Amino acid sequence: MIQKHSEIREEVAKLCARFPGPYWQEKDRHRDYPAEFVHALTEAGYLSVLIPEEHGGAGLPLSAAAAILEEIHAQGCNGGACHAQMYTMGTLLRHGSDAQRAAYLPKIASGDLRLQAFGVTEPTSGTDTLSLKTTAKRDGDDYIVNGQKIWTSRAEYSDLMILLARTTPQDEVTKRTAGLSVFILDMLAAKENGLTIRPIETMMNHSSTEVFFDNVRIPAANLIGEEGSGFKYILTGMNAERILIASECIGDAKWFIETASAYARERKVFNRPIGQNQGIQFPIAKAYAHMRAAELMVHDAMAKYEAGENCGAEANMAKMLAADASWAAGEACVQTLGGFGFAAEYDVERKFRETRLYQVAPISTNLILSFVAEHVLNLPRSY
């Protein structure tokens, strides 16, 4: 089995052992943010793994971040509370100015600032990012932002947001991808000047919110890169996001497979372990095969990302295949445990709900298939 960064995985597993099932059950029950877990990851340096050493991080490649998140999920924990800090790094690290990196990265690495919010999706545009309507208009040394974002997870627990907004009206651009810009938003300051955050209750504890901007001012110095070129900047973060989410799904699949296998070996019905029955064995074995195949795709996408190659197709396929693998493993696990699969104390139902999200987020399976059809198979654009 693929085991890159084995030493990191071992240490992450030790950290996760301090946060067993009852901890996550309590957080899930009350929809609480796992602040203690996030603090422990920050203190151990895992959330700054992608930040260069000169800015206080470890300066490791994306595969190290993927190993951390995969192990978190394989140990039964949930990286959803903090994974954005890793994938939003792509935009800031690759396209931020020297001054921006010097101002923010050391504080993010130390935990003095949290970069957990990614403001892209809107109620009317969804995954049609190029049709977003939130505007940022230049006013002297500031931009004034108006609009709304939705499914902005962790906005209540983040100090900074990577925000995508329209700086040129859509009917004035010659290319659909033009006219969008990326900003670093100081959320603490914005909350006192027109920013409103409203939690959204969902089927899993994911700290989802909708965010409203009412004449929120952002200093022009917080513009990342060139005005109007923001869409290509966030694609860097989006590919990293898909790869890291895929890694979490691989971790979920491993947890489901191990949980189901352990139960099938121990549970006896009619004086024999239920794992002796092919009706129990085969779904678990098939889930394992699917997980391994998806794992190879994830590592292929990571290799291309780290080599600086275009990995859009691989990142999307990795996310789709890994999400499918984790969902299939979850199905096998629930069926294996039977009624106990629905009992909160076994954590299966919680993990089942959590991994279901990735059939839809951060991009739905149908849009991935459309991307592959158009960009890989050269079929006509379907949307």
Q: 125 with 131: CB under 8 angstroms? A: yes
- pLDDT at position 4: 79
Q: What are phi and psi of 45, to 5 degrees?
A: 85, 10
Q: What is the pLDDT of residue 74?
A: 98
In DSSP notation, 341-369 reads: GG-GGGSHHHHHHHHHGGGTSSS-HHHHH
The domain ranges of the chain are 6-110, 115-228, 232-375
The token pair at 320 is 């789709």
Tokens of 292: 């391994």
Residue entry with tokens 């901890």: 23
Do residues 163 and 169 touch, judged by C-beta distance below 8 A?
no
Does 6-110 match 115-228 in CATH topology?
Answer: no
Residue 314 near residue 301 (C-beta atoms within 8 A)? yes
Alpha-helical (H) ranges within the chain are 6-16, 21-30, 35-43, 62-74, 84-87, 89-95, 98-110, 187-190, 230-266, 278-306, 312-337, 348-356, 365-375
Q: Which CATH number is associated with domain 115-228?
A: 2.40.110.10
| pTM of the full structure | 0.94
Place of tokens 């109007």: 228
Q: According to the model, what pLDDT value does residue 195 have? A: 97
Q: 232-375 adopts what CATH topology?
A: Butyryl-CoA Dehydrogenase, subunit A; domain 3 (1.20.140)
The pLDDT value recorded for residue 355 is: 97
Residue 254 neighbours by CB under 8 Å, 6+ apart = 70, 73, 74, 291, 329
Structure tokens at 201: 């209750």
Is 137 strand, coil or helix? strand
pLDDT of residue 3: 66
**Predicted pLDDT at 140:** 97
Contact 37, 62 (CB under 8 A): no
Q: Does the domain formed by 6-110 have CATH 1.10.540.10? A: yes
Task: Return the bridge partners of 184, or none.
Answer: 162
Residue-level length of the chain: 383
Per-residue pLDDT of the chain (383 residues; tens, 9 = 90+): 556 799 999 999 999 999 999 999 999 999 999 999 999 999 999 999 999 999 999 999 999 999 999 999 999 999 998 888 888 777 888 899 999 999 999 999 999 999 999 999 999 887 788 889 999 999 999 999 999 999 999 999 999 999 999 999 998 998 888 999 999 999 999 999 999 999 999 999 999 999 999 999 999 999 999 999 999 898 877 888 999 999 999 999 999 999 999 999 999 999 999 999 999 999 999 999 999 999 999 999 999 999 989 999 999 999 999 999 999 999 999 999 999 999 999 999 999 999 999 999 999 999 999 999 999 999 999 98
